[in-house]
Amino acid sequence: MEEKKDNSGMGRRDLLKSLGLGAAAGTLGILADPNDAVAQVFTSATKGLPPLKITKVKAIYTCPHGIELIVVKVETSEPGLYGLGCATFRQRAHPVISAINDYLNDFCVGKDADNIEDLWQTTYVSSYWRNGPVLNNALSGLDQALWDIKGKRANMPVYQLLGGKCRFAIPCYSHASGDTIEKVAEDAKKKMEQGFKYVRIQLGGYGATQALGGYGASGITKPDFKTAGFGAPNDNFMDTYRYIKGIPEMFEETRKVCGDEVELLHDIHERIQPNEAISMIKNLEEFRPFFIEDPFSPENIGYFKLLRQQTSVPIAMGELYNNPHEWIGPMSERLFDFIRIHISQIGGITPAMKVARLGEAFNIRTAWHGPGDVSPVGHAANAHIDFAVWNFGIQESVTFSSELQEIFPGCPTMKNGYMSVNEAPGLGVDVNEKLAAKYPLPNKQLNEWTQVRRSDGTAIRP
């Protein structure tokens, strides 16, 4: 019987041969239905792979160390093929879980898992109002899971799909802190001995208790609002004068103890007045910071021009950013040097790659936010991008507990101050759902981040 020809005069077998699918065709099921074979071959020729539908989108959550971690699992029409993506927003975990289970699942089931960009764009506007942290984190979970699936389909790590490696491993900074400048310097020295060439130094730490002497400084006695019984018992406090005096002293001491070659970083965490931040950063010039992080709250980005006119200290910004309008303007005006967004907060790998490319155009390097409230899947997503983008700057280091490594097999690894990922296809991190379920979310929800107040009790914005 003569083989049916298409318009090009090419028969099904010729076409399969020309696509190099002769042997693979049977495996891919292309020959299974002869009536539909040509159409299937064209579909495969377009996508390179057989069709794949999303069959389920669900949230998996776990809290092994008091930090609520959420990942999205996207299941597909191919048995056993699924993807994972980070959707962790611990301060509002339940609304994110609802956005995933109650909305994303219905929206995505039956759609083509291959079309990541289209799914991102249509999910993004599916609620009409968009760009909030809850919906962006849910969207990130979907997006990263689709990249994970794409990698598994292609039998490649995601960094390969993003362009391959620009570096052999990912340089990371470690965190040093203490409640006195001497302890900070000592801790920084320890980090150097562990192999880190970049160390972030914080006086008073994060969310420091009163015992540590207040947030971001040392030697503070009980603030007036506490004496007056104002605010909540756990509210923290900050003395701006001590902070802006203490941080240059901390840099001076750390340089003395650690030498000139280590790169030193510091996070202001947006908590002082813009002009106080500018003044303090100028005083840090002589200590050659690698970068100073988040000098202004997102509401105060208008101050960047003043800062740029007055100092050449490199600036990192952006872990609180949600909306492209928050970074496009400052980046295109080169108002900071490192873009430090939280990748799940802006919607995943797809938008983060666009941010990275925008940065390349304006010589702004990446420094993705990588704290403990990012799941191992999210850290892997950070790392795959870090490998692939030329304008990578630095990555926040992370160490995973044995519990986390059991729940999420395949976590990124750290060695001599460098992060690496495994070579498994996709993002390389799996989840043990049974084990994850052993660490349920706490009954009492985390309803606030660290609230810091001034001495008179005025709430300070991070």
Contact 49, 153 (CB under 8 A): yes
Q: Which of 94, 103, 124, 206 is catalytic?
A: 206
Nearest residue (CB) to Mg ion, 148 versus 337 = 337
**CA separation for the pair 398, 412 (Å, rounded):** 9
Q: Find the binding residues for Mg ion in span 161-220 (CB under 5 A).
A: none
Among 95, 100, 146, 154, which residue's Cα sits nearest to residue 120?
146
Nearest residue (CB) to Mg ion, 368 versus 392 = 368
Query: Residue number with the shortest CB distance to Mg ion?
Result: 267
Encoded one letter per residue, x for contact with Mg ion by CB under 5 A and - for no contact, window 300-319 reads -------------------x
Nearest residue (CB) to Mg ion, 267 versus 386 = 267
- Of 22-30, 102-110, 213-221, 260-268, which segment contacts Mg ion by CB under 5 A? 260-268
Encoded one letter per residue, x for contact with Mg ion by CB under 5 A and - for no contact, window 262-291 reads -----x------------------------
Question: Minimum CB separation from Mg ion for residue 267, in Å?
Answer: 4
Nearest residue (CB) to Mg ion, 179 versus 396 = 396
Among 168, 175, 154, which residue's Cα sits nearest to residue 369?
175
Type of residue at 420:
S
Phi, psi angle pair for 109, to nearest 5°: -60, 130
Active site residue 159: no
Q: In what order do the strands lie in the sheet with 69-76?
A: 54-62, 69-76, 82-86
Q: Find the binding residues for Mg ion in span 93-112 (CB under 5 A).
A: none
Number of residues that bind Mg ion (CB under 5 A): 2
Among 196, 194, 192, 246, which residue's Cα sits nearest to residue 219?
246
Active site residue 369: no
Question: Minimum CB separation from Mg ion for residue 121, in Å?
Answer: 29
Question: Minimum CB separation from Mg ion for residue 372, in Å?
Answer: 12
- Please spell the DSSP secondary structure of 23-80, one letter per residue: HHHHHHTTTS-GGGHHHHHHHHHHHSS---BEEEEEEEEE-TTS--EEEEEEEESSTT
Among 262, 121, 269, 156, which residue's Cα sits nearest to residue 203?
269
Interaction of residue 396 with Mg ion, rule CB under 5 A? no
Phi, psi angle pair for 83, to nearest 5°: -130, 160
Q: Which of 269, 369, 379, 384 is catalytic?
A: 269
Nearest residue (CB) to Mg ion, 253 versus 267 = 267
Q: What are the catalytic residues? A: 206, 269
List of residues contacting Mg ion (CB under 5 A): 267, 319
